[in-house]
Amino acid sequence: MERAVSRRDRQGYESAVADLWQSLGRALVRLERIAECPPDRLADEALDDLPGLQYGLHSAAEMAVGIEPPRGGEVVHEELLAALAQARDSTAEVGLALRTDDQELAEQLLPEWRGALFRVRLARLRAVERGTGRPLERAPDPLADEIPARGAGIPAVAASALVLGGAILFTAGAVLAAWPLWAAGLALFAGGFLLVRP
C-alpha cells in the first residue's frame, strides 16, 4: 500500500513541477536572453521587461512553496526553492542597477545573475529526476554518429607515421643531395595523405 501512495505522490510532484515550469518557462527564457546581452545594451533591452519577469519568478517561487515533495525529495525541492529565490533577488539587483544608471554595477552583477538563472534550470532538472525516481529522457547526442569506432584510429596513426617518415627522408635527401632518398621521402609523404581521406 505504501508503494502505491509513494508512486502517486511522485507522479503528483512531477505534474506539479511540470505546471510550475509551464508558467515559468517563458519568463526564464526571456531573462536568459536578456542576460546574454552585452552590458552596454542591457538597459535598452531589459529596463521595461525586468519588473514583470521578476514577478514571474516571484509567483513561481510561491507556487513551488505550495508543492508537497515526495518522501526523499525534500532536499532537491528545497534546492529548487532556493534557486528561484536567488534568481528573483539577482534579477531585482540587476534591475535596480539599471534603473539607477549604474552601468558598472550592472556589469559586475551580470555573471552572478546568469549563474542564478542557470541554477533554476539545474534545480528543476534535479527535482524532476530525483523526485520521480527515474532520470529524465535525454536528447540524442548529435555527435554520437561522428565518434569513430574502436580501431578506427589505426589508419590515422599509420598515415601520421608515413607523413612524418616521408618528411624526414625528404629533408635528408635534400640535404645530402641524394635524389633517390628525396623521391622515397616524397612518396611516403604522399602515401600518408592517400591512406586516410577526410
Average pLDDT over residues 176-184: 85
Dig out the grid coordinates for 180 from the structure: 633517390
Band of the pLDDT at 4, cuts 50, 70, 90? very low
User: What gap in Å lies between CA 163 and CA 186, rounded to an integer?
Assistant: 9
pTM score, two decimals?
0.58
Residues in the chain: 198
Which contiguous run of DSSP H or E holds residue 109?
Answer: helix 103-132
What is the residue-wise DSSP string for 125-181? HHHHHHHHTSPPPPPPPTTGGGSPPTTTTHHHHHHHHHHHHHHHHHHHHHHHT-HHH
What pLDDT digit, counting tens, does each position of 62-75 carry? Answer: 888 888 888 878 88
What pLDDT digit, counting tens, does each position of 119-162 carry? Answer: 998 988 888 776 555 544 554 444 445 455 566 678 778 888 88
